[in-house]
Structure 1
């Protein structure tokens, strides 16, 4: 199963899209030159970069669900609609798992989410990891005609549909096509639910970025309610050219060389994290060079 592939070998490393360094010095200059608002990446090289990540052996590629660009948040994620983009990525890759981090269920019709997920499962040969969330941008809800304060209840109802618990509502002969194995569900945060509920109903946890020490207590809580189900998090990485550059912490991640990155990932593994997605929007070096460095010097130490 794809959830088992995610943690094969005990620990794995993926990428978080967009594959653009638009928050770097050069990226910021290019954004202003192009007249793009802050947080809107340049996607012109995304196809070649995702092929490179797939070929190098990164375990998963994670996309986010941002229905509307809001300048108050200043982050358009990968611009493209989540499931449409996953279908595109599936056609450009062979092995890398395709994850959502995470689909905002209260803003979507859950039956259509299930159909979209089944489509990606089929077209990708069952590489989908369906991360879901209740959402955290209050400005979106009135535009979609959804009550922000009831999003927790709507989330639970949607999960029942995604897990086929509500299939009794279908009249005789009705099906959700294409028929495909239900993808594993991973939750971002707690989605307005109790830890016990999340541990019971979800197959993995997408935890917010933090230091290795931050993750120790979070992992302990997850193990208490969910056993050995995967614990996933992310690092905003700026990989420096000097392999011995020390670790310097910034919000949600680190600036360091290859050796410091290995040290940070070893600490994440020791804290109980099962998978780390690397986010490159702060990265000062060209992304193709950074991906190559990690593929040659880092992945072989963890992907066995």
Structure 2
């Protein structure tokens, strides 16, 4: 059975999705937010609560799984700070992944990224190992040192020592806490395979340390030229370990609409999207997570179009099943 790292990079390049699956950053979404009295950046959770009726959240996650997207990525934002303008997704990250593991079958489940210095290390290990076990080995554990000073004193943590804390927690995650516990004690479930560790940024470390100790990179969104430079720097210290990033996508209904860049991504028809993803691949990116909060079209329709018309250009296992449209 292939590992989650092998599955992520199978074929050399893959496409996933960054949650939440919500398009609340559109003009229509902003109007709904104001109507509902929600704070800026907080997604609409009304339909997500109806678990007994297969909430929109579950349906879209299952659709992404069925359509062949390679991974679902979940951000870890412990506290909502309006000054950042983005609540990301609001659920506790490991609880959320446990839910997603139960409603999906094949798609990888990634964190982008767990802020290690804010968390109790042994419980982080237990949570990650639990998700790895319950999901059948689908976890991709993205980690970071955090960049929001306001959070640290609220959790009783020291902001200035977060780099040293990060290194200590990586060591604990790597050996399953065996060298950190008295004889006879252990953290269960014990991971059957090593937890795959991706890093967001440098986490207060040197590039050389990151390249040696981490399994993959979660890079900030950028253009193909941005990624060409960043991927080269990553390769210099990490070799062939995966380099991944994200795009905030607004997929136009007209397949011929040219690409128009916006912050963190672009609006484009599917032909321009294919060209952009191909350029990302050529730049050294091995996985892209698509973020849809700016997307103006219905998300189920958008996912279906990308699955039938875009994924076959990049996922070898979908080419023979693709539905091609004459343009």
Q: If the TM-score is normalised by the length of the shorter chain, which range does it land in?
A: over 0.9
Give the secondary-structure state (helix, strand or coil) at the position aligned to 1:131: strand
Instruction: State whether residues 122 and 177 of structure 2, in contact with CA within 8 Å, keep that contact through their aligned partners in structure 1.
Output: no
Moved beyond 3 Å, runs of 4+: none
Query: RMSD value over aligned CA atoms?
Result: 0.9
Q: Residue 220 of structure 1 aligns with which residue?
A: 232
* Structure 1 stretches lacking a partner, 5+ long: none
Structure 2 unaligned regions, length at least 5 = 48-55, 317-327
Q: For 2:212 and 2:74, locate their aligned partners in 1 and report how far apart those are by CA, in whole Å.
A: 25
| 1:233 equivalent in alignment to 2:235 | no
Q: Distance in 1 between matches of 2:103 and 2:220?
A: 28
- In the alignment, is residue 130 of structure 1 matched against residue 132 of structure 2? no
**How far apart are residue 165 of structure 1 and its match?**
7.0
| Alpha-carbon distance in 1 for matches of 2:99, 2:195 | 18
What CA distance in whole angstroms lies between the structure 1 residues aligned with 2:77 and 2:232?
Answer: 30
Q: Does 1:279 align with 2:281?
A: no
1:73-152 maps to which residues of 2 (within 5 A)? 73-152=84-163
Q: Which residue of 2 aligns with 1:270?
A: 282
Match of 1:54 in 2: 65
Three-state SS of the structure 2 residue aligned to 1:67 is coil
Number of residue-to-residue matches in the alignment: 304
TM-score by length of 2: 0.91
Residues of 1 paired with 2:184 and 2:201: CA distance? Answer: 37
**Contact 2:177 / 2:186 at 8 angstroms: preserved in 1?**
no
User: Which moved further from structure 2: 166-175 or 186-195?
Assistant: 166-175
Query: Map of 1:147-296 to 2, 5 A cutoff?
Result: 147-164=158-175, 166-180=177-191, 181-296=193-308
- Contact (CA 8 Å) 2:252, 2:270: kept in 1 or not? yes
CA distance, structure 2, for counterparts of residue 29 and residue 19 of structure 1: 18
Counterpart CA distance in 2 for 1:116 and 1:72 is 30
